[in-house]
Amino acid sequence: MPISQISSAERGFSVSAGQAGDAGLSRNTTHNGRRALRVARRHVVARVARNEFKSVGMRSSFDRVCYCGMPVGPEIPVMSDGFSCWPSGVTSCGLIWVCPVCAAKIKARRALQIEAATSAHIAAGGTLAMMTMTVRHARVMPLVDVLRAVREAWARLARLKSWRDVKQFLEGQVRALEVTVGENGWHPHQHVLLFASAGVDVGELNTLLTALGADWRRLVFKFLGVAPSVERGVHLLEFGMDSASIAAGYLSKVANEISGPNAKAGRDPFSLLGDIDQGDALAYARWIEYADGMKGARAFGFSQGLLARAGVVDMTDEEIAAADSAAGGVVAYIQAEDWVKALRAGTTDDWMCEFELVMSQGLLPFLEVSDV
Ligand SMILES: [Zn+2]
């Protein structure tokens, strides 16, 4: 039996009593609730990974999350910019699909890169358009099948005349892969941000994009057996001249929490973690299917030279996750063994909130602590 079909009950996944989904995960909703939610969700992923190893006897595809946030030295320097506090000197897993903490960091950096590229492009007289390419999906379709159809259709499309014709009008493009999960199962889709050259005839470009959309539907039918509808297969959104940041924000969906439970196309897969924490066996199985299915998939793809032209140095997801991106000073140190205990208990963010509270009362800048 595939491991994704084993229920959480069979795996003996333990559930803490008295927690209510994401509401239970985000106890600190009054202070930096999103960060608290990300840390709490990462803790659930790590618990699932450890549980997989214990019950199935093999390391899961996302085992690295168990080591995300571990100390690299004997103590953790707590950094602050005078308002927020964050740990420094900790490892990062860099797994954008499965680690809510690393995903937020990577997406925030990608948004800055995309914004730099779009700003430079618009300053040079270019325009932007967003193409969203979907497939028709059903509850019974396994994620790997739907995802494979999206990836193979795109790979094949990139070699066709319709895409070469469109590319003649472009300075480059950014592709972002996204997956949601909902009533109708998995919904992988991709956004392609088109950097149209200065002075292009938008009418002509639109005609070419219609031909591209027809090829997309044909290819999806070839790889999935079901064609997307004419209206929904390829959706084009044109951005105005002043919309570099809108385009960047839309493409990178910086906050994972954006897709809430009422989002039409489904929920962010990270929301499954709240259900898992409540003991939802289906959510557990779906998470395993998702984590295994997304392994190795590239979330963002930049056409060659696009970032370099904007003076942006490209980095891998792992490099972004590992970088100390925010500027701040050390306000406290936490002993590594205390930090590891808190990490295992899922309470590291409580610590940061404590420091921030103390800071807001003007009691830092420097405090050496071994226990809080
Ligand atoms: Zn991570």
What percentage of the chain exceeds 70 in pLDDT?
77
Question: From ligand 1's centre to the CA of 95, what distance in Å?
Answer: 6
Question: What pLDDT sits at residue 354?
Answer: 86
Is residue 38 included in any domain, yes or no? yes
Is residue 252 included in any domain, yes or no? yes
**Domain shared by 32 and 112, yes or no:** no
Kindly list the distances between the CA atom of residue 20 and the CA atoms of 16, 252, 347, in Å, as whole numbers in the listed order: 10, 29, 17
- Give the model's confidence band at 262: pLDDT under 50 very low, under 70 low, under 90 confident, else very high: very low
Is residue 279 included in any domain, yes or no? no
Question: What pLDDT sits at residue 68?
Answer: 95
Question: From ligand 1's centre to the CA of 179, what distance in Å?
Answer: 18
**Domain shared by 76 and 186, yes or no:** no
**Which residues does residue 129 pair with via DSSP β-bridges, in sequence order?**
194, 238
DSSP 123-160: HTT-EEEEEEE-----TTS-HHHHHHHHHHHHHHHTTS
Query: How many domains is the chain built from?
Result: 2
| pTM of the predicted protein model | 0.83
Stretch 359-365: mean pLDDT: 72
Residue 93, pLDDT > 70, answer: yes
- Extract the tokens encoding 222: 């070839």
Question: What pLDDT sits at residue 22?
Answer: 52
Question: From ligand 1's centre to the CA of 358, what distance in Å?
Answer: 27
Question: What pLDDT sits at residue 370?
Answer: 44
State the pairing for strand pair 170-182/75-80: unpaired
Question: From ligand 1's centre to the CA of 171, what distance in Å?
Answer: 34
Size of the chain in residues = 372
Question: From ligand 1's centre to the CA of 99, what distance in Å?
Answer: 5
Question: From ligand 1's centre to the CA of 329, what distance in Å?
Answer: 23
Stretch 328-346: mean pLDDT: 90
**Domain shared by 333 and 316, yes or no:** no
| Structural domain span for residue 56 | 3-98+328-369
Question: From ligand 1's centre to the CA of 176, what distance in Å?
Answer: 20
Question: From ligand 1's centre to the CA of 65, what distance in Å?
Answer: 5
Q: Report the chain's mean pLDDT, rounded to a whole number.
A: 80
What pLDDT digit, counting tens, does each position of 15-71 carry? 333 343 454 454 444 446 788 889 999 999 999 999 999 988 889 999 999 999 999
Is residue 206 included in any domain, yes or no? yes
**Domain shared by 303 and 172, yes or no:** yes
